[in-house]
Every structure is written in C-alpha cells, then in structure tokens.
Chain A
C-alpha cells in the first residue's frame, strides 16, 4: 500500500538550515507530482511547495520562496525539502503528500505522510 515516511525534523536555531526527506513506498513515485504542506502548532494547513513528476517544474508559497527548495530523487523514491534561513514562524509539522490526478489533471492530494516536526527556536 502507499506509504510516505518523513524524516529529518528537529530543533534548530533561527537562521540555520535543515533538510527534510520523504521516502515513498507502494506506488510508482516517478510518475506523480509531490507536495509539502505544513501546519504550525494549533493552526491550519499551509501548502508549501510542489515538484513535478520529473523534477523540472517547481512552485512555492510566497512565505518560503527563496528560502526553501523542493527536490526529488526518483532513483531513490525520495522527496526532499531543503529549508534555509529558518525563522521561528517556520515552526510546524511538515507533511509530504502525493499528488492525485485524473488523467493529467491535478485533483489534490490523496496520500499524506505522518509529518515531521520542525521547531525553530533560540
């Protein structure tokens, strides 16, 4: 069955960097766009970034543009989120999620990981 497993979360100081990984199982990873979504403690969901199936197209939320980079390694079935210049407001649970398609049209997110907590604090 489809499984997404995030890793790499932790406590870091403001201004530093962290890389999250998301290992994918149970589906043809190289065929699907993949996303990161985050949720600050006690707050709502915030879409963060997407990468196309082949890694050629990437889009970001304004709040992370220029600081975060999404990437993927289809040979390892793994999605990444490189987070630089971290701020306290980046503190959140970060979920990776698989894009859901009908034909070639994106229809949302159908499978999610369990989340990785990132805490940015001095």
Chain B
C-alpha cells in the first residue's frame, strides 16, 4: 500500500499569510493526488485534483503542485474561512490513502 506522509500536522498562521502544506508518497504516484478541506462537523470538500487542477468554485488563492512523490498545497493569502484541516489523498492505486491531515489554526 502507498503511504502518504503529510506535514506539518498543524500550523498557526495569520490572515493574509502564505501557507504551504506538503505530502510525500512512499512511491511514485504520477500526479494522482488531490487536496481536501474539512471544517469541524462537516464533510470534506475537494479543492485540488490531479495535483494542480483547481476544482470548480474553489478560490484561486489555493494552488497545488508536485508530481511523483512530493506534493504541495499553497494558500497564497490565508482568509478567515480557510481555517480548517487539510488532507491529501492519493488515487493512484487501491487502497487509496489519505495523509494524516494538517490543522490550520489562527495565530
């Protein structure tokens, strides 16, 4: 099975900050990776698919990059509504696997 290692597990940031979250795959997964945002008590929401494609309706301050084993989610200017937990998901091969999550908190 492919293991996804996400870092950091949490971070504190201020509104307007640039935030970067990383996911590393235990083996190459091409660009078969998505990023999901989850707010407390809610279902996750897909932000990015195919490593760098923005899902419809998602603000352009979110971007993704990477290929192979290392991937990055960037929020260019953190907004109040962005405080949430973020997960990567590899869909290269079954079983699909999520990263452990990154909780983005208000500084």
In the bound complex, residues from chain B placing their C-beta under 8 Å from that of A114 are: 43
Instruction: Tell me how far the C-beta of A113 lies from the nearest C-beta in chain B, rounded to whole angstroms.
Output: 7
Contact A100 B98 (CB under 8 A): no
Interface check B29, CB cutoff 8 A: no
Q: How long is the Cα–Cα vector from A37 to B100 in the complex, in angstroms?
A: 14
Note all chain B residues with C-beta closer than 8 A to A108.
34, 36, 46, 49, 89, 91
Query: Nearest CB to that of A109 among chain B residues?
Result: B46
Interface string of B1-43 (1 = CB under 8 A from A): 1000000000000000000000000000000001010100001
Per-position binary interface string of chain A over residues 44-61, scored 1 when its CB falls under 8 Å from any chain B CB and 0 otherwise: 111100100000000111
Q: How many chain A residues touch B (Cβ–Cβ < 8 Å)? A: 23
Task: State the B residues within 8 Å of A (CB).
Answer: 1, 34, 36, 38, 43-46, 49-50, 55, 85, 87, 89, 91, 94-101
In the complex, besides A35-B96, A106-B91, 20 extra interface pairs with C-beta distance below 8 angstroms are A37-B44, A44-B85, A44-B99, A44-B100, A44-B101, A45-B44, A45-B87, A45-B98, A45-B101, A46-B98, A100-B49, A102-B50, A107-B49, A108-B34, A108-B49, A108-B89, A108-B91, A109-B36, A110-B46, A112-B45
